[in-house]
Amino acid sequence: MNADTALPDGFSIFDVHVHCGTYGENACFPPVYLEELCGRLPMERFVCAPFSWDEQTERLKAGFSDVFPAVLQDRVLNWLWVSPVRESAIDILKMAQCPDGYVGIKLHPYADQYDMMLSLMRPVITAAERWSVPVAVHTGNRGCMPKDVSRCFPRGFSQALILFHARPFQESLDAAKKSSSVYLEFSFCDPDSFACAFDAIGPNRLLFGSDYPVQAIYHPGLDVISSYCHNVQKLLAAAARVKATNAFFRDNACAVFHMSSSRDNRREV
């Protein structure tokens, strides 16, 4: 057991939703935020995104050796933030292969100021299926509600379609019931929502994500690492009750990103 966070032996976390970079003019979150988290919890992998399309273009130019230190190289995967209203993003989506170092497409219609519509999503859908990568969509704001996502992506979409935040929850759950390609990510969701989703769609399309360290933007002075640990403990209790701990915190994400876990062949807890 980990005395600090009371985690079971053999437990590890694959967080599908974290950030590094600069938010606005004053909020900067360098990779040290992820390094510090690794010092407190058994973090197996992160999937990291920038905070904007403009920042994404700078990262594409820089290369990942300039972004993440060596200690994180084998843990950090990267979302490709795409703004389909930008011509340069469409050019990327036309590439034969996903840009090196990226494992999925992230959409944030609210931040990029567009509404989900089929004409904008067609190149995203085509690229994701050509590249065999998942698509993650920020949900919960005008223009990017779960019903908007469902309307734009076909039920037969062959890759994982991840609803970041799963907001509003019932609408997200309805989308997951209608399409087996829809996965729910639980940043800022409570244990009751996890239990409801488990009962409705089973354990295999539930993903742990945190949106870390975004809380620090809206709550200055917050100890985001302690908050992260507290959130893990709450969801761990909910997952353990239905024997879905490893599935939720690690194995489902490994399946989505076509990866094996470094902690394979362990009993479910």
How far from the centroid of its chain's Cα atoms is residue 149's Cα?
16
Question: Which pLDDT tens digit goes with each residue over 17-75?
Answer: 999 999 877 789 999 999 999 999 999 999 999 999 999 999 998 877 667 887 898 99
pLDDT of 214 > 50? The answer is yes
Q: Measure the N-to-C terminal CA separation of the chain; round to a whole number of Å.
A: 13
- Round to whole Å and give the CA distance between 124 and 2: 42
**pTM for this prediction:** 0.94
Cβ neighbours of residue 122 closer than 8 Å, sequence gap 6 or more: none
In a domain, 156, yes or no: yes
Cβ neighbours of residue 189 closer than 8 Å, sequence gap 6 or more: 165, 166, 169
In a domain, 243, yes or no: yes
CA distances from 133 to 56, 100, 139, 157, 161 (A): 18, 12, 19, 11, 9
Give all strands (DSSP E) within 92-220, no chain letters.
Answer: 104-107, 135-138, 161-164, 182-185, 206-207
In a domain, 10, yes or no: no
CB 86 within 8 A of CB 62: no
Number of domains into which the chain is organized: 1
In a domain, 5, yes or no: no
Average confidence (pLDDT) over 241-258 = 97
Question: Which pLDDT tens digit goes with each residue over 116-131?
Answer: 999 999 999 999 999 9
Q: Which of 209, 151, 218, 216 is nearest to 183 (CA)?
A: 209
CB 143 within 8 A of CB 111: no
Report the CATH number at residue 244.
3.20.20.140
In a domain, 57, yes or no: yes
Which domain range does residue 213 map to?
A: 18-256
The values of phi and psi at residue 160, to 5°, are -70, 135
In a domain, 122, yes or no: yes
Cβ neighbours of residue 105 closer than 8 Å, sequence gap 6 or more: 79, 80, 82, 124, 127, 128, 133, 134, 135, 136
> What is the pLDDT at residue 147?
98
